[in-house]
Amino acid sequence: MTSSASHTADTLDQLQRKLAAAEAENDRLLALMARKEAQWEAAKQSLFEQFRLAIERQFGPSTEKYRVEQGDLLINEAEVAVDAEDTAADEESTTQDAAAEPRQPAKRRTRGGRVALPPDLPRIEVVHELPEEGRRCAEDGTALKVIGEEVSEELHVVPARVEVIRHVRRKYACPICEEGVRVASPPAKLLPKSNASATLLAYVATAKYQDALPLYRQSQIFARHGVEIPRNTLARWMVQAGERLQPLVAALRRHLLQAPLIHMDETTLQVNTEVNRLASSTSYMWLQRGGPPGQQVVLFDYDASRAGRVPVRLLGDYTGRLVTDGYEGYAEVVRKNGILHAGCWAHARRKFVEAQKVQPKGKTGKADWALNQIRKLYAVEKQAKALDADARRELRDQKSRPLITQLRTWLDKSQQQVLPKSALGKALHYLDGQWGRLTRFLDDGLIPLDNNLAENAIRPFVVGRKNWLFSHTPSGAHASAAIYSLIETAKANGHSPYDYLQFVFETLPTLSEADDLSPLLPWRWKETLPL
């Protein structure tokens, strides 16, 4: 009996152990399934967000406006613009009515009214007279007197006209000894062996690099005007012109590196024929911008690489402030030179805009809160725009720092609640990783909130790239960089790119290598013009 009871107890104990092991295995498998299900759900959510963003990029509006209204998506752009203008005028009138102090009513232009033509445009007067019989009184035949006139103006365009300038240099010689023939020196030309004038070179460069008009289209336009200029000839002129501009670009770079703050950015470029590289290889156009108002410098520079050695080469021994996006390629020059490196809130904001786009329609979430907080930071910057650096820093300390503190607390909490691979998770990760650079503006009034000055300057290149697609050779890319530099620098200082290029192309050939090029800088240009 005792043996039988002991055997039964052992069997029961074994069954209990097996049951416990089975339950443990079951719990392990359930936990594994839960983890897998969570991973699948996260992957599904990530793919869904990528799909939504792809649709937005393809078919949505190319804007980062917060809460894009349906009216912004309409095709009747002109009608919407007029309606918006009327609404703004009504709001201004309402604001004035609500003010305690009465004001003079704002002068409103009637809907559809014409804007006055610029007074500095040349005028050609065409007088319209009554016929001879109409200038006599119908009652007694007395000649009518002029008592006034009615004037209306219309805008007239003179199409481009191609003409040839003949430079005639007369030869002189002594009629007695018939020796010592003298002839006037030829005019200085940017491209001595070509028949392209400075005006023509400036016209072609402005059309290509400012207006994004490819050279083959320009060749077709010239053909319609009666002159055949092959595309490869135009290309050769631009490459040679870019090479001649290198000393002036070097002078601009010396001025740029004296600026207390520099913006930098880079974008892709394809160069078809480059030594030891495939035609499909990706190269880069780098941009730098800096200088005080009225003396802004915008420089483009081509390089086959996006590596950190490129900023090291471009910045040399510069030790000031640098504003960039989140690309880590700038870390080497920042560490080497001891540069104060600031980030870009526009890039941080852009990632929350993407997260907002994949939210369920009609619902608000964390992305909306972040965008609203960033909008408040920009509102403070708008107030500080006209202040000097010290006053701007004080205003930021009063108004921006509390917003940043709130944003940091929210960020730490939200990172624990959001899937890392989701659009919102990526936005939070970027914000956290760039936090030190993004908050550097609080302690320095010279540092702006974003890198938009660089992005605005590089945009014409990006637009042009959509038209001409690639550069054929590295020399063409370097030439493009030089001409883009002069055009964007002229624009940054409020000058006409065509007029400035024409001045440079006419004046540069008259200077020697030892001459000072500072009179050719855009902010010195007007001082050097003849009276």
Is residue 399 in some structural domain?
yes
Mean pLDDT, residues 491-500: 93
Residue 136 pLDDT class (50, 70, 90 cuts): confident
What is the per-residue pLDDT for 336?
A: 95
312-354 pLDDT tens trace: 999 999 999 999 998 999 999 999 999 999 999 999 999 999 8
> By percentage, how much of the chain surpasses pLDDT 90?
46
Give the containing element (helix H, strand E) for 381: helix 366-384
Is residue 64 in some structural domain?
no
231-266 pLDDT tens trace: 999 999 999 999 999 999 999 999 999 999 999 999
Mean pLDDT, residues 445-471: 85
Is residue 495 in some structural domain?
no
DSSP 388: -
Is residue 438 in some structural domain?
yes
| Interatomic CA distance for residues 214 and 209, integer angstroms | 9
272-286 pLDDT tens trace: 777 777 877 888 999
- Rounded to 5°, the CA angle 92-94-98 comes to 115
Is residue 124 predicted with pLDDT exceeding 70?
yes
| Interatomic CA distance for residues 154 and 405, integer angstroms | 58
Domain count of the fold of the chain: 1
Provide the β-strand partners of residue 188. none
- From residue 200, alpha-carbon distances to 81, 207, 214, 217, 222 in Å are 38, 11, 15, 15, 11
284-311 pLDDT tens trace: 999 999 988 889 999 999 999 999 999 9
DSSP letter string, 200-228: HHHHHHIIIIIS---HHHHHHHHHHTT--
What is the per-residue pLDDT for 1?
A: 52
Residue closest to 209 by CA, chosen among 473, 453, 482: 482
Is residue 289 in some structural domain?
no
Give the domain range for residue 388.
344-450
pTM of the model: 0.76
Q: Are 348 and 324 in contact, with CB atoms under 8 Å apart?
A: no
Provide the β-strand partners of residue 284. 268, 303
Q: Which residue bears the tokens 């320009």?
A: 218
Query: Can you read off the two tokens belonging to residue 395?
Result: 């205003």
Backbone angles phi, psi at 284, to 5 degrees: -140, 145
Query: Can you read off the two tokens belonging to residue 192?
Result: 């001595």
Residue 77 pLDDT class (50, 70, 90 cuts): very low
Is residue 523 in some structural domain?
no
Residue 94 pLDDT class (50, 70, 90 cuts): very low
Is residue 356 in some structural domain?
yes
Is residue 283 in some structural domain?
no
Query: Within the chain, how many helices (H) and strands (E) appear?
Result: 18, 7
